[in-house]
């Protein structure tokens, strides 16, 4: 799996973009990278996870759950995890898998990045001043360099 993870809102909102082919071996590195970045942030650190529509992933639910398990618990400073996908089946699988792995986690699925940012602004009052249009533009530039 190819992925990129970095702050969209410095020290507060991480953006994870997954693309290519999802393989189990990459999840350990992904978890280490996300924990390192959350350590550098200011709690709660929210994560917006985006999956490129062309991404190929494991179709066996049991294997997918094992792949996603990674650490037994989320980082203690983790805030909301928001999964972005236009595909209803992706959102369903993400919801099912995440809740199976992490009990009582703050997890939400949405159709696009704008909805993810609006959701976080609604849930976290410290993000009330977030310029959503600027964040969308910043993500577009960051994503274009990553996937192309």
pLDDT, tens digit, for every residue of 72-92? 678 899 999 999 988 777 777
- Rounded to whole angstroms, how far apart are CA atoms 101 and 75? 14
Q: Which residues contact 85 (CB under 8 A, 6 or more apart)?
A: 50, 51, 53, 91, 94, 109, 111
Give pLDDT tens digits for 95-108. Answer: 777 776 677 788 89
CA angle 75, 101, 53 (to 5 degrees): 90
In this prediction the pTM is 0.84
**CATH class of the domain comprising 2-147:** alpha beta
pLDDT higher than 50, residue 148: no
Phi, psi of 47, deg, nearest 5:
-125, 130
């Amino acid at each position: 799996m190819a992925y990129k993870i970095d702050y969209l809102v410095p020290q507060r909102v991480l953006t994870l973009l997954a693309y290519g082919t999802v393989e189990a071996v990459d999840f350990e590195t992904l978890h280490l990278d996300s924990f390192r970045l959350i350590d550098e942030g200011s709690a709660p650190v929210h994560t917006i996870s985006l999956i490129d529509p062309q991404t190929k992933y494991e179709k066996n639910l049991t294997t997918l759950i094992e792949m996603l398990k990674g650490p037994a618990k989320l980082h203690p400073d983790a805030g909301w995890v928001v999964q972005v996908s236009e595909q209803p089946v992706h959102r369903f699988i993400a919801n099912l898998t995440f809740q199976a792995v992490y009990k009582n986690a703050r997890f939400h699925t949405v159709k696009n990045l704008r909805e993810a940012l609006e959701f976080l602004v609604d849930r976290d009052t410290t993000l009330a001043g977030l310029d959503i249009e600027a964040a969308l533009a910043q993500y577009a530039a960051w994503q274009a360099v990553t996937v192309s």
